[in-house]
Amino acid sequence: MNKQSESFTTGENFKAQDYFGHHKTKNGHTFRVWAPNAQNVDLVGDFTNWAENPIPMTKIDSQVWEITTELPNIGDLYKFQITRSNGEIIMKIDPFSIGLEKRPGTASVIYDIPEKKWKDDKWINRRNKTNYFKEPINIYEVHPYSWNNHDDGTPYTFKELKETLIPYLIEMNYTHVEFMPLMAHPLGMSWGYQLIGYFALENTYGRPEELRDFVEECHLNNIGVIVDWVPGHFCINDDSLAYYDGTPTFEYYNETRANNYRWGALNFDLGKPQVQSFLISSALFWLEYYHIDGIRVDAVSNMVYLDYDEGPWEPNHEGTNINFEGYHFLRKLNAVVKEKHPNVLMIAEDSETKIKVTGPISENTLGFDYKWNMGWMNDILRFYEMDPIFRKYNYGLLTFSFMYAMSENFILPFSHDEVVHGKKSMMHKMWGNREQQFSGLRNLYAYQMCHPGKKLLFMGSEFGQFLEWKYDQGLEWDSLNDDLNHKMQHYSKTLNEFYKGHSPLWAIDHDYSGIEIIDADNSDQSILSFLRKDEENYILCVFNMTPVERVNFTVGVPDAGLYTEIFNSELKEFGGNLDKLNQDTKTREGDWKHYKNTLSFTLPPLGASLWKLKIKDKKKKGKS
């Protein structure tokens, strides 16, 4: 057994694609596949007229089959024809191929992609020196198939997205773009979360070279690229990874643990060393081959908790619901990635709270940098969907997140999951008539920007698309002809720019020193106020959660002096009714909770009003 095969067997080969799969060599084309329990493996493809003239492969050790042949040409399709242990013959994809043919076909493609001379050195060097915990992160989540379509309904490839999506990201002031899975998947309805190719770019989106050029162009324009990745489960299709050699190969031997009933998929055996080599190699491949800046690991709870699925489950040897294989795999994944790429973002989609997900592995965490704050997302959307009459009775939905905001390093997501399956679009969720809905949406996005945590918004939500997202259709770009949608897009653009330009909103996101609650008890008026702070400055954030104008609204502030309003969600340019911001306002002396000074101003209905101290009165004290 050679070193690469041996390290694959021990779970330590993190560049397994350099050994397995197809490789152009001086003697032709070499193919290798892991199929330890197969009776026989043949190479078939365009160059063999498929099953008519199969090329026998040789088992070179206890688990690897190999062949070198001059027959194929670049661009040919191929599969491995596997004779399983029971004599059944089936054609399988190459698990390590970097491209598959277009749907509905699933054959692997023989690629010979030239080396790329990357031009993003400045970005990579800056990324590697940046403490992203103290930087703004505002992510635009994209499903590339449905961001925009051609007139005939076909989606844009990455070559076309380079010319259209990147200018849009720049114009809208996003710091990152996050793509739903780009890996090969046979069914668009899965949105990419039922994968068959863990190294292959989905052919619908173009060629690998086009994605590399897209990422480079993002970096040249100071935009980071994040990709969703699914290491927990895989597509059950018989021509892909499922029972690859006729026995449980990538999946668990235990049938109960192998079956993912919730998603109709198969769970990876995360304790098997070869599977660990396969998956960690996949993650590093996307980071290194495509210069990706971050990976969002999908469905972490499904990997860590045995009872997360909807089907039957069996406790572990300790009698608990912890999947120790999944737990240790994720820690190993993050350790390996961080050792090689310390400043790449590792993000978890996790809905549980039993195990700490973010933070150093030495502190008994899973080792992720960030976790989606699903609790905040669910609570806040319930609150904003509610008739304002009832909000004072459910005020805790708005404020409860402050109790645990620093328990993890959070991203605040309004993701694709919240605008499908009858949940309504973000705009359609909002209470009231159309103008009030847009007011509520502007208020909500301002609250997201001011709340501790990094930010994420799903495509189309930035301009208030009314219909739910459809995975097979482009966004409702025509709605921008409507004045309110156009102004909503302008609002999102301006708010994103405001966020990037004001460090109190992001410099201290993961420590309570970055936020000071002024009043989280005003449930009767449903008005929330707090400060966001960096080391030297602060922003006063006030949110009116009812359609009632509050004239001469008063709130306590920490410093005496002159305050200036720097942002208001209800300006006419955004679709509101205000001609201009509130005028600069001086504080007054007076006890207000634990403050010695107050600030009074007009708070518009469903409005968000942000202020900063313009001139401090050094003669007067603030807090008592």
Q: Name the band, by pLDDT with cuts 50, 70 and 90, for residue 620.
A: low
CB atoms under 10 Å from CB of 268, counted, come to 27
Quote the CA–CA distance of 445 and 361 in Å, as a whole number. Answer: 33
Distances (CA, A) of 296 to 275, 384, 443, 586: 19, 27, 28, 46
- Report pLDDT for 185: 95
624 lies in some domain: no
**551 and 402 belong to one structural domain:** no
304 lies in some domain: yes
511 among known catalytic residues: no
Quote the CA–CA distance of 377 and 407 in Å, as a whole number. Answer: 16
Mean pLDDT across the stretch 30-56? 96
**462 and 594 belong to one structural domain:** no
Mean pLDDT across the stretch 204-227? 97
117 lies in some domain: no
266, containing H or E segment: strand 265-267
Point out the catalytic residue in the list 349, 350, 379, 462.
349
* Residue 138, token pair as written in the block: 């505002």
131 lies in some domain: no
- Given a contact cutoff of 8 angstroms between Cβ atoms, the answer to whether 593 and 587 are in contact is no
Place of tokens 């008890």: 521
Query: CA geometry: angle at 158 spanning 114 and 468, to 5°?
Result: 155
590 lies in some domain: yes
* Residue 185, token pair as written in the block: 């998947």
- Report pLDDT for 416: 96
* Residue 68, token pair as written in the block: 């070198």
Give 137-189 pLDDT, tens digit per residue.
Answer: 999 999 999 999 998 888 999 999 999 999 999 999 999 999 999 999 999 89
- Given a contact cutoff of 8 angstroms between Cβ atoms, the answer to whether 303 and 232 are in contact is yes
Phi-psi region of 151 (alpha: psi -120 to 50; beta: other; left: phi over 0): alpha
**79 and 144 belong to one structural domain:** no
122 lies in some domain: no
- Report pLDDT for 542: 98
Backbone angles phi, psi at 587, to 5 degrees: -75, 165
CB contact set of 598 (below 8 Å; sequence gap of 6+): 554, 555, 556, 557, 587, 588, 589, 590, 592
Q: Name the band, by pLDDT with cuts 50, 70 and 90, for residue 623.
A: low
- Given a contact cutoff of 8 angstroms between Cβ atoms, the answer to whether 24 and 55 are in contact is no
In this structure, which amino acid lies at residue 493? K
**450 and 535 belong to one structural domain:** no
Give how far the C-alpha of residue 187 lies from the chain's centroid of Cα atoms, to the nearest Å: 20
The answer on pLDDT for 624 being more than 70 is no
Quote the CA–CA distance of 512 and 104 in Å, as a whole number. Answer: 52
Give 347-373 pLDDT, tens digit per residue.
Answer: 999 888 789 999 999 999 999 999 999
Mean pLDDT across the stretch 522-531? 97
Mean pLDDT across the stretch 276-293? 98
Give 415-454 pLDDT, tens digit per residue.
Answer: 999 999 999 999 999 999 999 999 999 999 999 999 999 9
**212 and 346 belong to one structural domain:** yes
**547 and 585 belong to one structural domain:** yes
* Residue 430, token pair as written in the block: 């909002």
Q: Name the band, by pLDDT with cuts 50, 70 and 90, for residue 622.
A: low
Positive or negative, the Cα torsion across 462, 468, 473, 478?
A: negative
**251 and 363 belong to one structural domain:** yes
Quote the CA–CA distance of 612 and 531 in Å, as a whole number. Answer: 10
**90 and 233 belong to one structural domain:** no
**191 and 146 belong to one structural domain:** yes
> Based on the structure, what is the number of domains in the chain?
3
CATH of the domain at 526: 2.60.40.1180
Domain boundary, last residue among 502, 532, 560 = 502
Share of the chain above pLDDT 70, in %: 99
**210 and 171 belong to one structural domain:** yes
**547 and 431 belong to one structural domain:** no
**79 and 141 belong to one structural domain:** no
Q: Name the band, by pLDDT with cuts 50, 70 and 90, for residue 113.
A: confident
Question: Strand, coil or helix: what is 378?
Answer: helix
349 among known catalytic residues: yes
- Report pLDDT for 351: 83
Q: Name the band, by pLDDT with cuts 50, 70 and 90, for residue 621.
A: low
Domain, as residue range, for 293: 136-502
Mean pLDDT across the stretch 305-334? 94
- Given a contact cutoff of 8 angstroms between Cβ atoms, the answer to whether 226 and 295 are in contact is yes
Point out the catalytic residue in the list 94, 298, 309, 350.
298
CATH of the domain at 14: 2.60.40.10
Domain boundary, last residue among 502, 526, 559 = 502
Q: What is the pTM of this model?
A: 0.96
82 lies in some domain: yes
Question: Strand, coil or helix: what is 214?
Answer: helix
The answer on pLDDT for 382 being more than 70 is yes
Instruction: State the helix-helix crossing angle for 158-172 and 208-220, rounded to 10 degrees.
Output: 20
Q: Is the peptide bond before 104 cis (omega within 30 degrees of 0)?
A: yes
176, containing H or E segment: strand 176-179
Give 563-608 pLDDT, tens digit per residue.
Answer: 999 999 999 999 999 999 999 999 999 999 999 999 999 999 999 9
Quote the CA–CA distance of 176 and 3 in Å, as a whole number. Answer: 39
130 lies in some domain: no
Distances (CA, A) of 425 to 356, 414, 464: 31, 10, 8
- Report pLDDT for 310: 86
CATH of the domain at 469: 3.20.20.80
Domain boundary, last residue among 109, 144, 164 = 109
